[in-house]
Amino acid sequence: MTSLSDEQLVARIRAGDLTGRRELIERWQESVYRIAWRVLGNPNDAEEVRQTVFLRFLERPDSLPDPQRFGGWIRQCTVNAADSLIRSRRVRSASVLPMEVAGSGSDPEREAGAAEEANRLRTALETLLPEERALLSLKFDEGLSFSEIGETLDRPASTVKSHYARLISRLKTLLTESTKELDRHV
């Protein structure tokens, strides 16, 4: 791999030098997969989206944006491809967290509590729309700022920020209700 930036590689590809395609794909493949997986909740569907995004990239290098917009562009392509897959399959709910909870195996009670907490979060996240899960994935998994998310989703940063705040509030409410329900059964 070279030490060229994404912007430099995109500029070269747009100028007709296609040698940077492989490097860009290698750099972005995990991020594209992670976003798709969080939106779709299924590793096979996430892989299908990753292949779709990169196939389009390879087939139409002329569709690449200005070099400095490549990161936002590929994330937006991923969200759009995941949304298209959902619409085509009419998927309504998906698991959005790994099924296993990592642990050392030394404290079964603690691991059981972590597994229960992960399950409650998974259940709460399943109530969100795919585009809402995409926003959370871009914020938490990709570490993007609100302005970067806004660029990716083609929305003003202020809209993204307020939507994010409402999502977090709704998740807190759902988790609080879930905890109260759990406590009633114990």
Quick check: 1 pLDDT over 90?
Answer: no
| pLDDT confidence of residue 124 | 81
Predicted local distance difference test score (pLDDT) of residue 36: 94
The reported pLDDT for the residue numbered 65 is 78
pLDDT confidence of residue 2: 64
Determine the Cα–Cα distance for residues 119 and 172; give it in Å rounded to an integer.
14
Q: Which tens digits make up the pLDDT trace of 54-90? A: 998 888 877 777 778 888 889 999 999 998 888 777 5
CA distance 69 to 7: 8
Contact 95, 114 (CB under 8 A): no
Q: What is the pTM of this model?
A: 0.67
